[in-house]
A = this chain, B = another copy of it.
Amino acid sequence: MLQRSIGSLAKATGVKVPTIRFYEQIGLLPAPQRTLSDRRVYGEAAVGRLAFIKHARQLGFPVEAIRDLLRLSDSPEQPCETANALAAEQLSAVRAKIAQLQVLERELQQMVDAACIGEVANCRVIEALHDHTLCAGGHQTERRPTYAGL
């Protein structure tokens, strides 16, 4: 069977070497075997697992959710409701983020549309930032996002 160094695994998956070590450290990737000189040696399974992680991260799943998804993936006889729930949760987090950004987009658009040519004293952008009442006021404070960093 094929054995890989960490650099080879990095090339195969497009995940950087320090990131792979980081995933091992936080327990997303199992600690691999080592050579006599303490170098990590990976089998083919690691490629699949790391690709899974990478894909999930690209979709914005937080690490804790990926941990759950990997556990599920490792035990295929389990019911898959949890996986569905995690995906649904992530979807709604993404949608919430989009909606929030669209509010910002509208307000920024207004600022940019009203852009002045003169001095800062008459600048609409600065003015709008000073006077919150000029905007729709729809943007949120958004502390402690419930789910993903995104």
Contact = CB atoms under 8 A, between A and B. Distances in A.
Given A91-B105, A104-B60, A83 B132 contact: no
A80 B118 contact: yes
A86 to B, nearest CB: 7
Given A76-B121, A104-B59, A120-B72, A112 B130 contact: no
A9 interface: no
A115 B130 CA distance: 48
Interface residues of A, number: 57
A80 B58 CA distance: 38
A38 interface: no
B120 A73 contact: yes
